[in-house]
Amino acid sequence: MAKSLEENGPRAPAAEGSLSGTRESLAPGPDAAATDELSSLGSDSETNGFAERRIDKFGFIVGSQGAEGADPNRSSGNSGGLEEVPLEVLRQRESKWLDMLNNWDKWMAKKHKKIRLRCQKGIPPSLRGRAWQYLSGGKVKLQQNPGKFDELDMSPGDPKWLDVIERDLHRQFPFHEMFVSRGGHGQQDLFRVLKAYTLHRPEEGYCQAQAPIAAVLLMHMPAEQAFWCLVQICEKYLPGYYSEKLEAIQLDGEILFSLLQKVSPVAHKHLSQQKIDPLLYMTEWFMCAFSRTLPWSSVLRVWDMFFCEGVKIIFRVGLVLLKHALGSPEKVKSCQGQYETIERLRSLSPKVMQEAFLVQEVVELPVTERQIEREHLIQLRRWRETRGELQCPSPPRLHGAKAILEAEPGPRPSLQPSPSIRLPPDAPLSGSKGKPKTSKQVQKEPRKPGKESGQQDRPPAPSQAKAAAAAGDASPPQDVPPKDPAPQDPRGPAPQDSAHHRSQESLTSQESEDTYL
């Protein structure tokens, strides 16, 4: 199967000598200033019917072609199905999410279930881009690779992908204010991100389905952050989806079809009788993460859960759509052939895709990571029995934010000593000259004043004591100088003060040593 979603196939290298996919070619031409108003609306085909622009809350042009229904380039789809969150509730959710993001490691370690529940309720729009970076691990990747994106951005790029990428730029959400203008900042950033990925993974190159993924990310974050989130999606969430042979997406198609037998036996039986390969209806769903299928409010809710819980959300959404499109005998009767069945899956009911209904169905559908992985092993064994080994084996995928954090923990701050007794920076400890003294120095400290005042406090030697006793018997009392009581007053409490001083200094010194050792 060709690795493309369009007829021209993005895997086909550009013609020799055709190097039009540079950033300079995307810049506005010399007459752009004269036609500023028209160029802001995009290409000639996009300006037809626009007298003035009104933008909805998602950034799409209101009243544009495809603004209603399930067209891939529509804005918010069925506006009547939008789930409006009261302003007070939204502010409360923003406060809770700010607390989580500011203490992310603690919440992921101890309260991951709470994060999952809040993702199911919907991430506040003002924090969605930041939350996606934390959930996907893109923020950690950015911290681990400072300057990497700038280095890739400044590189010339592989010529065989540049023209292919540029041809796809105007197809990505042309009625969104970021991408409505040819050569505008949105298309330039999209080109930079996709080109950087081809340099980051030259063995994988570029796949057309990566463009809408990168475009959705750019609607919520700058180019560098969007690049690392794209890396995480391609390497951790959906590994192998964008490789040359599309083997991973074929395996997941078989997994989806097998799970459908348990979720909706009627739909599974009908698709089996019609001999419809899963790739005919699920390729764009999975590879673009439903960004070209659902109303925009539903896309954002699905992505909130996808970043938190992983690929099982994509499977659940696909199963819900199949179940409600072909899950009853009445619906199957109107689809007698392959063509009618495919058309039914391409024109899904707006009620099924409505935000609140779809999210509730996805949350309640009992499909787990263990079931997906068990089915993956079964389909992989069948693949090897019928087709041999995979030509492009992909690394094991990680199911959601918690698995990614455990596999790639973020950088930990270095442990710094925090003394239990805090002193001013320049204040020396008592009895010291700015440096804490060891216990040996403290024991020697009380003896130093004795040297300055003579040998008054030194105990006499044994020979001197005997001589003094003999002299005392023979000599009269007046020859013996009496002890002066005056000097004893100031020096009387000295041993006690010295002991007290020693105990305080030893405690301070010991605490200091324990703290910094």
- C-alpha angle with apex 323: 319 to 325, nearest 5 degrees? 115
The residue written with tokens 């819900």 in the block is 320
Which is nearest to 298 in space by CA: 82, 117, 126, 115? 82
Please give the Cα distance from 72 to 75 (Å, whole number): 9
Q: Kindly report the number of other CB atoms within 10 A of residue 70's CB atom.
A: 18
Please give the Cα distance from 166 to 441 (Å, whole number): 76
Q: Are 256 and 283 in contact (CB under 8 A)?
A: no
Q: What 3-state class would DSSP assign to 300? A: helix
The packing angle between helices 223-232 and 185-200, to 10°, is 40
Task: Tell me the Ramachandran region of residue 397: left when phi exceeds 0, alpha when psi lies from -120 to 50, beta otherwise.
Answer: beta
Domain limits, CATH 1.10.472.80, in the chain: 245-392
Q: Are 302 and 294 in contact (CB under 8 A)?
A: yes
Specify whether domain 245-392 bears CATH 1.10.472.80: yes
Please give the Cα distance from 205 to 185 (Å, whole number): 23
Q: Are 56 and 84 in contact (CB under 8 A)?
A: no
Q: What 3-state class would DSSP assign to 176? A: strand
Residue 400: its pLDDT value, please? 92
Residue 348 class from Cβ within 10 Å (0-12 exposed, 13-18 middle, 19+ buried)? middle
CA 7 → CA 174, 208, 242, 375, distances in Å?
Answer: 19, 11, 17, 32
Task: Output the pTM of the full model.
Answer: 0.70
- In the numeric block, which tokens belong to residue 251? 């395996």
Please give the Cα distance from 279 to 294 (Å, whole number): 18
Domain limits, CATH 1.10.8.270, in the chain: 136-243+394-410
Residue 39: its pLDDT value, please? 36
Which is nearest to 205 in space by CA: 165, 251, 151, 236? 165
Q: Kindly report the number of other CB atoms within 10 A of residue 411's CB atom.
A: 8
**Biggest distance spanned by C-alpha atoms of the chain:** 140
Per-residue pLDDT of the chain (517 residues; tens, 9 = 90+): 445 454 333 343 333 333 334 333 444 444 433 333 333 344 333 443 444 678 888 999 887 543 433 344 344 443 444 667 889 999 999 999 999 999 999 999 999 999 999 999 999 999 999 999 999 999 999 999 999 999 999 999 888 899 999 999 999 999 999 999 888 999 999 999 999 999 999 988 999 999 999 999 999 999 999 999 999 999 999 999 998 888 999 999 999 999 999 999 999 999 999 999 999 999 999 999 999 999 999 999 999 999 999 999 999 999 999 999 998 888 888 888 889 999 999 999 999 999 999 999 999 999 999 999 999 999 999 999 998 888 888 888 999 999 999 887 766 554 455 555 666 666 665 554 545 554 444 454 544 444 444 444 444 444 454 444 444 444 444 444 444 444 444 444 444 444 444 444 444 444 444 433 3
Q: Kindly report the number of other CB atoms within 10 A of residue 466's CB atom.
A: 11
Residues 6+ apart with CB under 8 A from 122: 83, 85, 93, 300, 301, 304
Please give the Cα distance from 451 to 272 (Å, whole number): 105
Residue 47: its pLDDT value, please? 40
Report DSSP state, residue 478.
Answer: G
What is 136-243+394-410's CATH topology? Helicase, Ruva Protein; domain 3 (1.10.8)
Number of H helices, E strands in the chain: 29, 0
The packing angle between helices 112-121 and 296-309, to 10°, is 170
